[in-house]
Amino acid sequence: MPFTHHALRAKITALRATPDFWLLGTAESVKLLGVLQGATITAETRFSQVLMKLRARLAILRSILLPLLWYTASVTCITAAMLREVDVIIWNFVNAKDTDSATAAPGKFDKAWINTSVSQGGLGLTSPKQFIQATHLKSLKDAIAATCTRSAPPRWFGPALALFTEGLGPNGHGQAGTDPRLLARHASPLERTTSGLRANGLETTSSRNAFLK
């Protein structure tokens, strides 16, 4: 337990007497998820040695970096170009190369090895494309179940609902298929013009024929 200088001495003494609890002093350190932790550990000290080891870089990806991506991507429309950028960043990070580079640097192993399961000799990292698609499907499944139970979409599904509405546009039925803003976005030029004339009370047979000409 770092930062013990902020705790009361009586509590520290009681914790030290607990057999299943390891209490660290201010100058002591411990590794958590492969990363050095402690009250006096600087950021440079914490990560300088970790980033040199492949196993440590994988631990950072699995426990810190990729979960942040999963959380954001679950309610975000991720394009193929974005996925390619993510794959390049992951590849360069695993191989200790420049993560700001737009291209994948030469590595020590085949790219497929990153997503190959550990049981088959790979690193076992989840494919971003597969995981993001799975989170989208899981969000939709849970929302449908909750909506059927409560007769209204849950509040937590709001961001994902906007994502699916954007993706589906006028297809299907219900609110996602009848949102006027989305219908206008996918309408033809004739439909958009006619809609605008109708809204202003200006639609006539002559105006429609003039547009067609």
Asked if 67 and 105 sit in the same domain, the reply is yes
Are 25 and 33 spatial neighbours (Cβ–Cβ below 8 Å)?
no
Asked if 26 and 68 sit in the same domain, the reply is no
pLDDT tens digits, one per residue of 91-118: 888 888 888 888 888 877 778 888 888 8
24: containing domain: 9-41
Task: Work out the pLDDT band at 64, boundaries 50, 70, 90.
Answer: confident
Are 16 and 23 spatial neighbours (Cβ–Cβ below 8 Å)?
yes
Asked if 69 and 14 sit in the same domain, the reply is no
> Quick one: what percent of the chain has pLDDT higher than 90?
0
Asked if 113 and 72 sit in the same domain, the reply is yes
Instruction: Name the token pair of 49.
Output: 């040695």
Asked if 14 and 85 sit in the same domain, the reply is no
Are 135 and 70 spatial neighbours (Cβ–Cβ below 8 Å)?
yes
Asked if 68 and 149 sit in the same domain, the reply is yes
The answer to the question of residue 140 being in a domain is yes
Q: What is the mean pLDDT of residues 205-209?
A: 40
Q: What is the mean pLDDT of residues 153-177?
A: 67
Say what the pLDDT of residue 183 is. 43
pLDDT tens digits, one per residue of 105-151: 887 777 888 888 888 878 888 888 888 888 888 888 888 888 888 88
The answer to the question of residue 104 being in a domain is yes
Asked if 22 and 112 sit in the same domain, the reply is no
Largest interatomic CA distance in the chain: 92
Decide: pTM greater than 0.85: no
The answer to the question of residue 185 being in a domain is no
Asked if 15 and 100 sit in the same domain, the reply is no
Asked if 29 and 108 sit in the same domain, the reply is no
Say what the pLDDT of residue 74 is. 76
Say what the pLDDT of residue 126 is. 83
The answer to the question of residue 207 being in a domain is no
Total domains in the fold of the chain: 2
Distance (Å, whole) CA 82 – CA 86? 6
